[in-house]
Homo-oligomer: A and B are copies of this chain.
Amino acid sequence: MKNSAADKQLLYLQVYEHILSRIQRGEWQAHDKLPSIRVLAAELKLHRLTVFRAYQLLKENGKAYVKEKSGYYVNSPTTENEREILNSHPRTDNRYKNDISEIQRIPAIYQFSQALIDPNLLPNLFLSDYVKKVFDIYPKIMGTYSTVQGDGELREVLSGYMMQRLKVQLSADELLITSGAQQAIDLLARLYIRPLDTILVERPTYSAALDIFRAQGARFLSVDITPEGYDLNQVEQIMKDHRPRFFYMNPTFHNPTGYTVPASQRKHLVELAERYQCLLIEDDAFHDMYFDEMPTQSLFTYDTDGWVVYLSSFSKYVAPGLRVCAIVGRNIVIEPLITLKSLVDNGSPLVNQKLFLHYFGSERMQQHLHKLRTALQIRRDIMEQELLHTGWKWTTPSGGLNLWVELPQSISVDTLWKLCIQEQVSFVPGRMFDPSGDMNSSIRLCYSFVNEEQIGEGIRRLVKIAAHIRG
């Protein structure tokens, strides 16, 4: 932490919070004498005045009382809530939660809740044969750690690939390899968010990202994403008024909606980012999952001053079993991320990176991608066909893995979800993607994980249950 004068001013507040948490954990109980100012100052290696101010605050707030010539004593808990905390096991901690992950762990045959690709659509036999070759090329691969930043050869190849995709100059030093996009988002959250910081997100947005940001203590500002993109005036107003730490966005085949922010808005967004010094985190996990035409140029392309970080995950459609993602950014972003990565896992496993590298560079990969797009498009079409007569609303996605469907007000999504789970049909309620927990009449249906027949049967069950609720 920065050891600034301002931080020193805050110390007594931290001490105050610290004493309270020790009381909550039961170290000092009601009517126990607290350590003397001298003793606590020595323990915390702080100035006595700092501890004195913390004790004064405890007294003011009714957490402690003074007995003359004796010292400070812990007050009885004053609220139900405080009593509850005192009775809980000292080791539990509910800071962390991941709601969508819990929904996805519920087994279902008609699995529309996981935005994953059906393993049957991946070239498994080819991959198996392929692997042996990689182990022949690198006989010591199993015995070797990767560098923290990621395998040099892989970063070299990916930076070349990204230069083509992004149409900018890039060096291998401007990439960091992570274990999936999830880790990339978590690293960025840890680096940029301090408690109470505001960040800007789309509404709706990727649910697990919200949980990651929440765990770091972020407060959310949001801008609606529509088939036409964002309201740029609103984005500017938010950046101007609130100076969010970053804007986490998924502008291409957006999860959960499938919308794409139009090319005409992208340059302007980068200008806003520069003007208001708001980092853009461009999560581009679905870039290669297009149906008719290739996606429009990414925001990173327009960035000349290091205000865009680009996340390119290959987990979903190359090899989910490998979990390879690249963070692309300028040095000012990548350097501190490398240090953080060295702390969190000291670098992603080398085996995965080498397997990925060779498969990714193969001709087979492009063939696979082509087939995969066709298969996904067929599944999307089947799902839409089954929903056609319902009158429900959605925008046909031109890429990605999901339909974002708005149901009539008369259908309670929570009731629908509970009944569907009983019938082996799963989906994710819309509110989980909304930073403010609304969007109660939308649902996300993923068409990429189960086969054509299952999509048909699953959606028919869903529609039948919905009709039952309505009637």
Contacts and interface: CB of A to CB of B under 8 A. Distances in A.
A221 to B, nearest CB: 9
Interface centre among A180, A192, A197 (most CB of B within 10 A): A180
A10 to B, nearest CB: 6
A348 to B, nearest CB: 7
A161 interface: no
Interface in A194-251: 194-197, 208, 211-212, 215, 217, 219, 241-243
A210 to B, nearest CB: 10
A17 B323 contact: no
A425 to B, nearest CB: 21
Contacts of A79: 4-5
A349 B5 CA distance: 44
Contacts of A153: none
B44 A2 contact: no
A388 interface: no
Interface string A122-160: 101101100110011001111111111000000000000
A42 to B, nearest CB: 11
Contact of A243 (B25, B131, B144, B352): B25
A353 to B, nearest CB: 9
A275 interface: no
Interface stretch (A82-90, A296-304, A405-413, A459-467): A82-90
B332 A89 contact: yes
A238 to B, nearest CB: 11
Contacts of A277: 26, 90-91
A139 B122 contact: no
A13 B13 contact: yes
The 8 lowest CB-CB distance pairs between A and B, nearest first, are A122-B143, A119-B143, A128-B135, A5-B79, A18-B196, A101-B342, A183-B345, A321-B350
Interface of A: 1-6, 9-10, 13-18, 20-22, 24-27, 43-45, 61, 63, 78-79, 81-82, 84-85, 89-98, 101, 105, 116-117, 119-122, 124-125, 127-128, 131-132, 135-136, 139-148, 178-180, 182-183, 186, 190-192, 194-197, 208, 211-212, 215, 217, 219, 241-243, 277, 279, 319-323, 332-333, 336, 339-340, 342-346, 348-352, 355
